[in-house]
Amino acid sequence: MVQSHDLPSALALILSVGGKLASQAQVGEFLQFAARRQINVAETWVAQIAGRLTWAALPVVSPGRTLLLFAAPLQTPPAIIAASEVVARVCQLYGRAHVDLAQILLDPTDAIARKFYGAHGFTEMAELIYLNGNFPRAANPPQLRPGIRWLSYSAGSHKLFADTILRTYVQSLDCPSLNGMRNIEDVIIGHKSTGEFHPELWHLLCVGDRPQGVLLLSIVPNTDALELVYLGLVPDARGKGLGEILMQMAFGEVTRTGRVRITLAADSKNTPALKLYYRHGLTRIASKIAIMRDLRVSAAIKAGLP
């Protein structure tokens, strides 16, 4: 673990871009972000060679038994050697602490990192396209035709939300390689931990008595944005215009909550979803490769880890 006097340097290394260390101001901004999100930066791991800080990583455990690793670039042979030991120890430690999955987000052009993590048990799950849309004009929830209604999240509707979310995964193009890797209760806990959870921002779109679509939104703290955490339709509801209704509802919630933007991430191979988002004015702002390693005991045994 990092010593307090090494923490600023370790974070500067983790936040570095293009071989340039992050500035003191950038480190300060990250520390403020970490404080708001209750991220314990004291859990930063560092590796030193000949007394010199060589590589660093910050594991951030999220509700739902997942871990996101903020890691320094792999630009030199010493950094790669140091990272090998740290990654192995982190995965072993957190796996024994009942964290199921470790995830890292990589620049798609970083061939060295993609090869390195692939050799250390991580699998590429998807290229995530990050989108943003500004909506300065007031928007209203859609006018629903007879027989269609909204159902908001509550303790009483929890099971219906869980069942519907699972149904939307069937034949879905949204990160299909994740299907079955997580318990639905862990999935929901993870969704609730994205931004600020407000149950009135979670909706089921019901046709008659049957939920056909799900829309999960959260407030992005200290911004003017809502995040579209998840949008999905059950198989027999696709291609019937219900995605348009879900997006119109999302815009209406932007207005109701006093926000002006929507942000989201989508699988680059989920063409129908991307077309829906682009059609409603969202634009691409970045992309990342999401890679993941299963930390559970069976995976550890299969990989030959102690």
**CATH code for the domain in which residue 57 is found:** 3.40.630.30
Q: What span, in angstroms and rounded, lies between the C-alpha atoms of 71 and 45?
A: 9
Contact between 115 and 74 under an 8 Å Cβ cutoff? The reply is no
95 pLDDT more than 70: yes
* pLDDT level of residue 210 (50, 70, 90 thresholds): very high
180 pLDDT more than 60: yes
Q: Collect all residues with Cβ–Cβ distance below 8 Å to 146 and sequence separation of at least 6.
A: none
Mean pLDDT of 247-254: 94
Residue carrying structure tokens 């550890």: 300
- pLDDT score recorded for residue 136: 66
* pLDDT level of residue 98 (50, 70, 90 thresholds): very high
DSSP 181: S
The crossing angle, in degrees rounded to 10, of helices 242-256 and 271-279 is 50
* Residue 156 and residue 68 in one domain: no
Contact between 138 and 257 under an 8 Å Cβ cutoff? The reply is no
Residue carrying structure tokens 């048990």: 121
Contact between 67 and 196 under an 8 Å Cβ cutoff? The reply is no
CA 139 to centroid of chain Cα atoms = 27
- Average pLDDT over the chain, rounded to whole? 92
* Residue 145 and residue 118 in one domain: no
151 pLDDT more than 90: yes
Q: What span, in angstroms and rounded, lies between the C-alpha atoms of 217 and 152?
A: 11
Q: What span, in angstroms and rounded, lies between the C-alpha atoms of 274 and 264?
A: 11
* pLDDT level of residue 18 (50, 70, 90 thresholds): confident
* Residue 76 and residue 170 in one domain: no
* Residue 117 and residue 191 in one domain: no
Mean pLDDT of 205-223: 95
* Residue 51 and residue 156 in one domain: no
Q: What span, in angstroms and rounded, lies between the C-alpha atoms of 243 and 231?
A: 8
- pLDDT score recorded for residue 2: 76
* Residue 117 and residue 143 in one domain: no
- pLDDT score recorded for residue 299: 47
- The tally of domains found in the chain comes to 2
Q: What span, in angstroms and rounded, lies between the C-alpha atoms of 22 and 29?
A: 11
* Residue 91 and residue 216 in one domain: no
pLDDT in tens, 114-123: 999 999 999 9
* Residue 264 and residue 222 in one domain: yes
Structural domain containing residue 45: 4-127+291-302
* Residue 103 and residue 152 in one domain: no
* Residue 94 and residue 137 in one domain: no
DSSP 266: E
Give the rounded percent of residues in the chain with a pLDDT score beyond 90. 82
Give the rounded percent of residues in the chain with a pLDDT score beyond 70. 96
* pLDDT level of residue 138 (50, 70, 90 thresholds): confident
302 pLDDT more than 70: no
280 pLDDT more than 80: yes
Contact between 220 and 195 under an 8 Å Cβ cutoff? The reply is yes
Mean pLDDT of 227-243: 96
**39-43, 145-149, 175-179, 181-185: which has the minimum mean pLDDT?**
175-179
* Residue 203 and residue 78 in one domain: no
* Residue 243 and residue 296 in one domain: no
Mean pLDDT of 181-197: 94
Q: What span, in angstroms and rounded, lies between the C-alpha atoms of 231 and 175?
A: 13
